[in-house]
Amino acid sequence: MTRAQTPFAQAAHRAVRDAMAEDEAVVVIGPNGYGATRPAEELAAEFGVHRVLHAPASEAGLVGVAVGAAMAGLRPLAELPRADRAGQAMDQIANQAARLRYALGGQVGVPLVLRAHADAGAARALEAWCAHVPGLRVAAPASPADAYHLLRDALRQPDPVIVIERDERAVDDEAMDPDASPASWGASRVLREGADVCIVSWSSMVRRALDAAEVLSTEGMEAAVVDLRTLDPLDLSSAVEATARAGRALVVSGGPLTGGFASEVAARLTEEAFDHLEEPILRLAAEDVPASSARALERAAVPDAARIAAAARRLARRGS
């Protein structure tokens, strides 16, 4: 089934195309047939079939092959059109790709990029799984522009990167301009200023945080919104600054709460902005439940703009 490509998917596809044109070492390895790799046919026509490899549904194998190819000098982009399939490849991601530079005493790097495309609700915990692995970089684009720039940047990194794409409704903040880099690799960005509360998020939750901030603004409450962009490297400088200014911060994650990445962000903000805090850092995340296929339950499981606004409102008003 072919679906119209979203601006987010178009931007990511263009990033792959531009990276392949710029660097001959870039090769794409992905399973046959599914949505996110459909443009693979165009890439094969332009760059040749030896640089666009269609694999059967052998996720552990194809990521493992990408690891070896990266060690031997290629720059493989391994595609997982369904992010929940990352589970099958997890040994190669976490125990092999992320560890080999260290385990071999720095003799080799594994500069592969894994592109995991997550439909709504799929693989909610993937960011946290991956961010917990030393040696693995994690990018979480929230906009078409970042879908482009973070993928381009990822394909220039010396170490393995997983780019987790959740484009259910991406931030359409700027026209996608391949020549303009809105922020450098590893830098977070402030999407909205506000002195009453700071909302820190990443990936598809950024759009919801911005919607929540709009609602709060109509009530006379100004929320800063910080998009982390990458979880590793993790740049909390703008979040610390915005939190210090507001004295209160809400960290919003689309993954389950327990053991999730919101906890890491909250802990670090507490350590770094403690002297400025009027209230403890608050986390808002998905319920600690597995994914299901019932839309009503999936909607209820993950924070939406209304729930983000409600939590931010209570936090901003507490003790004042």
Which residues here bind other proteins, judged by CB under 8 A?
32-33, 56-61, 84-85, 87-88, 119-121, 257, 279, 282, 284-290, 292-298, 300-301, 303, 307, 311, 314, 318-319
CA 193 to chain centre: 22
Which of 211, 279 has the CB closer to other proteins? 279
* Residue 190: HSE in the Cβ half-sphere, 13 Å Cα cutoff: 15
Which of 54, 156 has the CB closer to other proteins? 54
* Contact indicator for 97, 64 with CB cutoff of 8 Å: no
Q: How far is the CB of 254 from other proteins (least distance, A)?
A: 12
Q: How far is the CB of 199 from other proteins (least distance, A)?
A: 15
Q: How far is the CB of 154 from other proteins (least distance, A)?
A: 26
Amino acid occupying residue 295: R
Q: How far is the CB of 134 from other proteins (least distance, A)?
A: 26
Which of 184, 292 has the CB closer to other proteins? 292
Which of 106, 319 has the CB closer to other proteins? 319
Q: CA-to-CA distance for 78 and 250, rounded, in angstroms?
A: 34
Residues pairing with 249 in the sheet: 198
* Contact indicator for 198, 245 with CB cutoff of 8 Å: yes
Q: CA-to-CA distance for 26 and 317, rounded, in angstroms?
A: 51
Q: What is the DSSP string of 200-231?
A: EE-TTHHHHHHHHHHHHHHTT--EEEEE--EE
Which of 193, 295 has the CB closer to other proteins? 295
Q: How far is the CB of 193 from other proteins (least distance, A)?
A: 25
Residues pairing with 54 in the sheet: 30
Which of 120, 187 has the CB closer to other proteins? 120
Amino acid occupying residue 229: R
Q: How far is the CB of 56 from other proteins (least distance, A)?
A: 4
